[in-house]
Amino acid sequence: MPGARVPDAAGARSAAAPGLGPEQRDRPTLAHPAVARLSTAIGGPVGQHAHVGGARFWTPLRVVLALAVLVLALSWAGKAACIQQYPGGPDGEMVLDWRDSRQYVALCYSDTVPLYGAHQLNELALPYKTSWEQENPDGTVELRYMEYPVITGMYQYAAAVVASVWSEGARQGWLPGALPVVLYFNVVALGLAVAWLLTVRCTMALAGRRPWDAVLVALSPIAVVHAFTNFDAIATALTMLALLAWSRGRPATSGLLIGVGAATKLYPLFLVGALLVLCLRTGRLGKWARMLVAAIAAWLAVNLPVLALYPQGWLEFFRLNNERGMDPDSLYNVVRSFTGWPGFDGELAAGESPELLNAVSLGAFLLVCVAVAIVALTAPRRPRVTQLMFLLVVGFLITNKVWSPQFSLWLVPLAVLAVPRYRLLLAWMAIDALVWVPRMYYYLGTGSNGLPEQWFTATVVLRDIAVLVVCAVVVRHIYRPGEDRARQHGEDDPAGGVLDHAPDAPPAWLPGWLRPRGFQPWQARRAEADREPVAVDPGNRC
């Protein structure tokens, strides 16, 4: 058409990219020695002249999702010991069997089970509206509300409603029955399983020519242990969906998903920061602004009704996070356990906030953000989105006063996309998953044949070292992109969207020391000229 606008090079590539040919597909049994050795159990590595990509039913997607389903079944079986029943109630009624600290001895603890009663979901109490009194260890009583962000809180309520309907059907003889808390756990687990399968699917879509990397997400030891420990799989799925939308050139959709994700857990917001510095480096802040506006709108749409109706209940999540002390998994608690250090704030009464700990934790994370931004802006080649996102999330977890064990789920898909090295990632994930064992036996207490605290905190140190080693490899790949397997065969950033193959075009006001190493002003002018729309000559139409 006369006067038609020609999209920029990155957009044209994204729109016109054909399916991968056999020669373009990654072949893990040839590329990874560890996978090659394992493949001998099923016939050995694929041949050089094998027909790849022609399977009718067992496509890579179906194989990976089937493996993920098996792992999720194993994860559910690991928690099943905590939903066993025995006739211990009045008149022999069935009750939950948590005798002799079963939840710790059997390593099956899940927050879902105790929160069913603690949040009064067994009475179908509406979250954020309903309050209850809780006695603190010092004898004081405080008013409590649902302690999770809105999407997570309402998900719990919806699961309780479904469990109640099922329970009523069981009473009528239409459905098999169980304790209400058992039905509730299974309903929650089903939704979390769907969320984790979405996470696996999105990882596969974001992996470019390396779809088999998603096997590491599907078979992750962290998923085996923590898929059903809490509700974090929902936030993980929303984050990966947001990243997938961005990769397909839909910043507004990505923003909407980030906003909804931030109403589930706060960590999806880190994607906003990662994209900010990359869009600043490439001169694409307009796309980032569209994403940000959509994210704010979505977050407000979810939160404002609850805030307006039940302000005290809505604020509970923020109040508890402010008052919470150092978590057993945090570095601060590791130092305390080995040295006897009383912490930055010393002993605090119930309801007191650890103000100094909060300030140190926030300050340390801001320093991490600054360091990651400097790396992103000055590296000789623009880092990939998932590399920055992984570094930011690790920085948050390391510096934060809380690293709940299920938070490690956040890292799994990001790590697989950021540094697809199988042995390295499996080693880190195995160490992280194994922290659960000393944690449970530490909670059991030495008086009940449990473990001393230092056994647990020592494994926390090993986990932190392992994840920092992964970070070091990511940074190495940023500065040596030739070693980045995700960038081989002409790939740049499969998750980058408008950033994929985008030239550097930092704004003129950015100081020289924050510009890409070796960058010259004429490169910015060339990049700007390349983005200018060009009229197509009608005579040259095909």
CA-to-CA distance for 125 and 386, rounded, in angstroms?
A: 40
128 SS3 class: coil
Is residue 37 situated within a structural domain? no
DSSP label of 7: P
Asked whether 107 and 436 are in contact (CB, 8 A), the reply is yes
Q: Which residue has the tokens 């996978």?
A: 35
pLDDT tens, residue by residue, 450-477: 999 999 999 999 999 999 999 999 999 9
- Rounded CA-CA distance 268/484 in Å is 25
Residue 271 lies in a domain: yes
Q: What sign has the CA pseudo-torsion 512, 514, 519, 522?
A: negative
- Number of domains the chain contains: 1
Distance of CA 89 to the CA centre of its chain: 40
Q: What pLDDT is attached to residue 33?
A: 62
**In a domain? residue 50:** no
What residues in the chain have per-residue pLDDT under 50?
1-18, 522-523, 527-528, 530-542
- The pTM of the full predicted model, rounded to 2 decimals, is 0.88
Pair 257, 238: CB distance under 8 Å? yes
Residue 4 located in a structural domain: no
Token look-up 């070091």 returns 472
* Domain-located, residue 121: yes
Sign of the four-CA dihedral 226, 231, 232, 237: positive
pLDDT in tens, 60-99: 899 999 999 999 999 999 999 999 999 988 888 889 999 9
Nearest-angstrom CA–CA distance, 345 and 358: 10
Kindly state whether residue 40 falls inside one of the protein's structural domains. Answer: no
β-partners of residue 86 are 95
- CA atoms of 450 and 186, how far apart (whole Å): 29
3-class state of residue 134 by DSSP? strand
Query: Rounded to an integer, what distance in angstroms lies between the CA atom of residue 289 and that of residue 296?
Result: 11
In three-state form (DSSP H/G/I as H, E/B as E, the rest C), the secondary structure along 215-255 is HHHHCCHHHHHHCCCCCHHHHHHHHHHHHHHHHCCCHHHHH
Exposure letters 327-347 (e unless 16+ CB within 10 A, then b): bbbbbbbbebbeeeeebbbee
User: Token match 């880092």: residue?
Assistant: 383
Contacts of 395 (CB under 8 A, 6+ apart): 365, 368, 369, 371, 372
Of 491, 265, 228, 481, which is closest to residue 379 (Cα–Cα)?
Answer: 481
The dihedral over CA atoms of 13, 18, 20, 22, expressed in degrees to the nearest 10, equals: -130
Q: How far apart are CA 194 and CA 143, in angstroms?
A: 34
Closest by CA to 290, choosing from 275, 307, 305, 268, is 275
Which region holds residue 173: left if phi is over 0, alpha if psi is between -120 and 50, else beta? left
416 domain-assigned: yes
Quote the longest CA-to-CA distance of the chain. 90
Concatenated DSSP letters of 299-314: HHHHHHHHHHH-HHHH
Query: How far is Cα 416 from Cα 154, in angstroms, rounded to an integer?
Result: 30
Report pLDDT for 540: 37
Q: In a 3-state reduction of DSSP, which class is residue 58? A: coil
Please check whether residue 34 lies inside any domain of the structure.
Answer: no
Q: Is 508 helix (H, G, I), strand (E, B) or coil?
A: coil
Of 350, 349, 357, 355, nearest to 332 (Cα)?
357
Q: Which domain, by its residues, includes 369?
A: 57-342+352-531
